[in-house]
Amino acid sequence: MNDKPYEIIIGLEVHVQLQTRSKLFCRCSTTFGQAPNTQTCPVCIGMPGALPVMNRRAYELALRTAVALNLDIPEFTKWDRKNYFYPDLPKGYQISQFDLPMSRNGWLAISDPKGAFQPKRIRITRAHLEDDAGKSMHDEAAGKSDSRIDLNRTGTPLLEIVSEPDMRSPQEAKTYLTELRLLLTYLGVSDCNMQEGSLRVDGNINLHIDTPEGKVATPIAEVKNMNSFRAVERAMAYEAERQYEVWCENKIKLGDKPGGHKTTRGWDDNQQRTVKQREKEESSDYRYFPDPDLLPVIVTPEEVEQVRANLGELPAAMRTRLETTYGIDPYDSDVLVNQGRELVAYYEELATASGDGRRASNWVQQDILRTLNENQQSISNFAVSAASLAELLKAVQAGELDNTRAKDVFDQMVRSGESAADVMSSLGIEKVDASAAESLCRELLEANPKIVEDLKAGKTKAVGSLIGQAKQRNPNVNPSQFKDMCLKIVESM
Amino acid sequence: MGLSRDEVAKVSLLARLRFTEEELDTLTTQLGQVVEYVRQLEELDTESVNPMAHVEEIHNVFVEDIPQPSLDREEALANAPKRDDECYRVPAVLGD
Amino acid sequence: MSVLESTATELLAELTAGNVSATELAQTYLAQIEKSDGAIGAFLNVDAERALAQAKGVDQRRQAGEKLGLLAGLPVAVKDVLCTKGWTTTCGSRMLEHFVPPYDATVISKLRAADAVLIGKTNMDEFAMGGSTENSAFKRTHNPWGLDRTPGGSSGGAAACVASSMAPLSIGTDTGGSIRQPAAFCGVTGMKPTYGRVSRYGLVAFASSLDQAGPLARTAEDIALLLEAIAGHDPLDSTSANVPTPVYTSSVRQPLEGLRLGFAREHFGAGLDHEVDAAVHDAIKVYESQGASVREVSLPHSKYAIATYYIIAPCEASSNLARYDGVHFGYRTDEKAMLAELAEERKSLERAGDRVKLEALDSPLVRMYRQTRSQGFGAEVKRRVMLGSYALSAGYYDAYYVKALKVRRLIREDYDKAFEDVDLIVGPTTATPAFKLGEINEDPLAMYLQDLYTVSANLAGIAAISIPCGITTAGLPVGLQLQAPPFEEEKLLRAAHMFQQATDWHTKRPA
C-alpha cells in the first residue's frame, strides 16, 4: 500500500451511545437535542445524597454487543469510579469499568472486496459500559470568558470499544469503523449517528520505521475530534506523514525522554491537519476504585449462550450466505449487506421469486438504490414490491423485453405502483413471435445487401444498423435475439 | 516514615485543594502520623484474602428502562452558584 | 403526664387516645428548643411554622377519622445530612450553607408517610466526619450532661436534642460510630442498623459502603418504633437490602429466652476507663441475672479496625466529596477576587522570570476549584479528602485500599465466626465518657482512636446499638454496645428492652 519505509500502526477507541430510552443510572430521558438542562435529575446532576441504579436495558445492549464482537464474557463484572474534575462531570467521577470489564479479548473481521488489503481480524481488547459526560460550550458572546454547561447528556449509557493496534492503514481503520457501525446497527444497539455524537472515535497511531538498526517506533499520538469516518481516514493519513517527517527531523522514538511520550492531538477538519492539544492539568491519575454505590453483575455462561442464540444473523455471516445461496460476488454481497437488514430481505425475496440472484442483485444495486436515493426513500416504503419486480425480471429473462425497455417499465411501476404486466401492456410491450421476427429479419437483410456482405466478412458490428431499423418497425423487437437471428440467417446464406 | 511535603503538595492539586505553606507543613505531619498508623496493616498476611468492596452478597440490581419526568430546569439550576437562563457557568474550560 | 418526660411510645398512645394533640406536642417541644437550645446548640435549623403546619394537618386528619401513619403526630429531629425537599440541608458545611435540595431522602419520605412532624435539622460534624460535632462549620453542640463536654459526633445534635428533651425521636447517621458514640455520651439509646436495612438515598454520602442512617431515642421501644418507620427496601438505592421489615414494635417487648452473649476480650483493652469498664461488667451481670449466658468470643482482627476504617472511609470520601467543586450547587469562591489574585501571581512570576512556576500556575478553572474547596471545607474534611486522594493515587492503591478491603473481610469473618456461638456481642460503646470540648480536636489521630469499639460494626456491615448503662462519678453517662449479625435488629431491640426493663439508666436526665 505505501511505498514509504514504515508501517502504520493504528488502534481505535470507539464510544457508542446505547439506544436506551432512559439514562444509565437514572430515569431521565436520553432524547437528543432538547433545550439545555431540561433532562436532568438529582442523580445525573450528582446532587448530594443521590444514588445510581443501573438500567437493565443498557446492560443487555452492552452484553449483546460484546457477544457479537466475539468477546469473552467473564462471570463477574463490577463498576469503578474514575475520578477527575471537569465541569461537565458533576459527580467528580465517571462510573466506568477498570480492572474487571464486562468483556474482553474479542475480534471483528474486516475485508475489502476490492482487495486493497487481505481479510483480517482486528482484535478487540475490551468493551465496557460507562456513563457519558455533559457538554461544555464556550461562550464567545460579549467577550465573556465563561463556559456554559449543559447536563442533558450526562449519564447517557456509553459502550467503550477498544481495539488492539491491529490496523495497518487509514483505509483499514475506516473499514473497521464501517464494519463496526454496520454490526451495531444490525444489533439494534445504537443509531451510530456521528453528527449527534452517538458514535465517537479516538485514534491511537504511530509508525514502525525500517532503519538500518532495525524497526523503530515513533511516539504514539492519540487523535481526537474526528467527526466522520472520512475524517478518521484523513486524520490517520495526515498523522502518519507528519510523524514520519518529525522522525526524519528529530529521530525521537517512543519512550524517549524527553519527547517520546504519548501526546494528544485534535483533528482540524477545516485545515485538514492534526493540532497538538493542551496537556491535562496534572498527569492523569484517575484514582480508580470500586463504586460502593453499585453492585457487581454476575452472568452465567448459559445466559451468554442465550444472548448469542438471539443475536440474529450478523453482517459477515449474511454476506457469505448470500454469496453461496444466490451465486453473487463478495463485492455485491457487501453492497447489499451494507444497506441493512431490510434491503437484504427485499433482495432475497426478489432473488427467490425471480429465480436469478445475480440479475436481482444488479437491479437492487442499480435501479432500486438509485431510485431510493433520488426519492429520499427507504426500502420499507418503496412502491414496488419484490414480488411485483420479480415478474418484470422474469419477463426480461424470458426475452419478452430488453433491459432498456425493462427500465422504462420499472420507472413506470415506481411512479404508478402498477404491476409489471399492466405497465407492459399499457406500453404495448409484447413478445414478438419467432416467425414474425424471422420474416422481419429476412426482409431487412434483403434490403441491405451491403450489410450482408460485411457480416459475411465477419464484421458483426454491422448488425447494429439492422437492429435500429428493426426497432423502428417494431419496438418490441428484442435486440439480442434479433442479432442472433440475423447472424444465423447470414451464415446459412 | 510518613509522606513528604512534596507528595502532599502534589495530592493537593489532585484533590483540587489549596493550602498555605504553613498548612502544608501541618498537613504533612498530621497525614504522616495517620499513614504511619494505618501501615500496621502491613503486618497481616492477606495474600489469600479476597478484597471486600461490598459487605452485602447482592448482585444484578437493575431497574427497567422506563423514562420518568426530569427536574424542571429552574429546580435543577436553583442551587447553581453561577448560571444563566439555561446553563451553569464556569470559568472557561480550556484545551477542549 | 409530662410530655417532655414521656417516651415516644407513651406519647403515641396519648395521641391516639386523643389526650394530647400533635399541635400541642409540637408546641411543647418547640418551646423546649426555644428554652434549651441556646445553651445546647443541637439544632442548625428549626422551622416552627412548618412543624406546626404539619402537626395541624395530622390533627385534622385524625379528627376526620383518616388512617394515619406509624408516627402520626410525633416530632422527629433529623440530622442535617438527610436531604429535605425545599429545606436547607447543610451537612454542617460552609460548602452547603445555602443548599436547598429539590428532593427528599427516602428516610424523609418515609417519615412524612408515617405522619411524623419534622421539627428541625440537627448539628453535626461537617459531612459526618468527626466524633465531637466540633467540626460543624456553624456551631458547637454542648453535652446536656456537662456543657463543657462534647455530645460526641458526628450525630452530636441528634443525641443532644433527645437527651435534653427537645425531641422524642431523632435520626442520625453512623459511618464509624456516629450514632452510637453520641448516644453513649448523651445517655440515650441509638442504633446503627445493618448496612442495607435503611435506604441511603438522599443521605449525603461520607463513605458509601459504611454509611447507615438510624434512630436515636430514649428507649429500645422508641427505637423499634422509629426503625420500623424508616427501614425497608428502596429501589432508588442499589445497596438497599430486599428483605422484609419485621414489625419491631410488636417484637421488642418479647424477652429473649436463653440469650447467649459474647464477651470479646478485644473490647476491654488498654485505654478503657475503669468506670466504663465497671458499668459494662455490671450490665453483663444484669443480663446474667435475666438468664443470659456469657461466653468469651474472639475478634482477633478488631485491633486493625481503625487502620482499615481510616483508609476505606477517606478513600470513599475523597471521591464522594469531589462533587463539591463550585459548579453545580453549593459554595463558589469570589470569582473576581480569585481571578485578580491569579493575575497578580502571574505578573509577579513573569517579573521574576520563573518559567517553571509559571508553567505550573493554575488555570482559572482549576484555581476556582481549589479555592472553592479550600474555603468551603473545614480542616478535618480537607484532611480526609487529602488522605483518601493519596491512598487511591497511582502506586499506593494496592498497598492501602486493596489491603484495607482484605482486612475488612477478615474483620467480617471474625464476626461470622463469633456469631456461630453467640446471639449478640456485648461491650462498651466508647472507651471513655464524653471528653471536654477542645480536648482532642487538635490531634486527628487521637480523635480517630475514639472509634475503636464502634467502627468494626460498620466495616462488617452488621447491626449494633448503644444503650445507657451507667453514670460516672463525674455525672456522665456510659454506653453499653450490643452487636448483632446482619438483619438481626430484632434481637438487639429485644435485648435492649430486657435491659431497660431491669434498669433505669435510660430514664436518667441531665440536671
Residues of A in contact with B14 (CB under 8 A): 282, 285, 287
Q: Which residue of C has its CA nearest to B89?
A: C327
- A443-471 burial, b for 16+ CB within 10 Å, e for fewer? ebbeebeebbebbeeeeeebbeebbebbb
A374 touches chain C (CB under 8 A): no
User: Would the pLDDT of C416 be above 70?
Assistant: yes
Distance of CA A265 to the CA centre of its chain: 25
Question: What pLDDT, on a 0 to 100 scale, did the predictor assign at position A291?
Answer: 98
User: Would the pLDDT of C295 be above 80?
Assistant: yes
Report in angstroms the alpha-carbon separations of A419 from A1, A374, A386.
50, 21, 11
Cβ distance B65 to A59 less than 8 Å, yes or no, reads no
User: CB of A356 within 8 A of CB of A319?
Assistant: no
Between CA A263 and CA A246 the distance in angstroms is 14
The stretches of A287-364 forming alpha helices (DSSP H) are 301-309, 315-326, 330-338, 341-354, 357-363
Smallest Cα–Cα separation from B80: which of A87, A330, A157, A327? A87
Cβ distance B76 to A86 less than 8 Å, yes or no, reads no
Between CA A46 and CA A133 the distance in angstroms is 11
C-alpha cell at A456: 459475411
User: CB of A65 within 8 A of CB of A189?
Assistant: yes
| Gap from C134 CA to chain B (nearest CA, Å) | 18
User: Would the pLDDT of C447 be above 90?
Assistant: no
Interface A:C, Cβ pairs < 8 A: 109
Cβ distance B70 to A35 less than 8 Å, yes or no, reads no
Between CA C459 and CA B52 the distance in angstroms is 10
Q: Is it true that the peptide bond before A258 is cis, omega within 30 degrees of 0?
A: yes
Q: Is C79 considered catalytic here?
A: yes
- Counting as low any pLDDT under 50, the low residues of chain B are 95-96
Catalytic residue among C136, C178, C240, C456: C178
User: Would the pLDDT of C448 be above 80?
Assistant: yes
Smallest Cα–Cα separation from C228: which of C209, C250, C210, C257? C250
Residues of C in contact with A293 (CB under 8 A): 205, 208, 238-239
Q: Which residue of B has its CA nearest to C100?
A: B79
Interval C365-392: pLDDT, tens: 999 999 999 999 999 999 999 999 999 9
Cβ distance B73 to A20 less than 8 Å, yes or no, reads no
Question: What pLDDT, on a 0 to 100 scale, did the predictor assign at position B95?
Answer: 43
ipTM for the predicted complex comes to: 0.97
Residues of C in contact with A45 (CB under 8 A): 328-329
C-alpha cell at A142: 460579549
Q: Which residue of C has its CA nearest to A89?
A: C323
Between CA A4 and CA A237 the distance in angstroms is 12
Residues of B in contact with C369 (CB under 8 A): 16
Length of chain A: 493
Q: Which residue of B has its CA nearest to C407?
A: B46
- Counting as low any pLDDT under 70, the low residues of chain A are 1-2, 139-144, 279-283
C-alpha cell at C356: 517553571
Helix (H) or strand (E) holding C355: helix C355-360
Report in angstroms the alpha-carbon separations of A386 from A360, A406, A424, C40, C193.
10, 15, 17, 85, 67
Q: Which residue of C has its CA nearest to A48?
A: C204
Look at residue A126 and give its three-state secondary structure.
strand
Between CA A52 and CA A333 the distance in angstroms is 45
User: CB of A52 within 8 A of CB of A294?
Assistant: yes
C2 touches chain A (CB under 8 A): no
Q: Is C250 considered catalytic here?
A: no
Between positions 200 and 229 of C, the ones with CB within 8 A of A are 200-205, 207-209
Phi, psi of B37 (to 5 degrees): -65, -45
Residues of A in contact with B65 (CB under 8 A): 20-22, 55-58
Question: What pLDDT, on a 0 to 100 scale, did the predictor assign at position A460?
Answer: 79
User: CB of B89 within 8 A of CB of A147?
Assistant: yes
Q: Is C2 considered catalytic here?
A: no
Pseudo-torsion of CA B44, B47, B48, B53, nearest 10°?
80
| Gap from C354 CA to chain B (nearest CA, Å) | 19
Look at residue A290 and give its three-state secondary structure.
strand
A155 touches chain C (CB under 8 A): no
- C57-85 burial, b for 16+ CB within 10 Å, e for fewer? ebbebbeeeeebbbbbbbbbbbbbbbbbb
Predicted TM-score (pTM) of this structure: 0.93
CB under 8 Å to C443, separation ≥6 — which residues? none
Residues of B in contact with A290 (CB under 8 A): 53-54
Express the helix, strand and coil content of chain B in percent, nearest 5 each: 40, 5, 55
Distance of CA A221 to the CA centre of its chain: 25
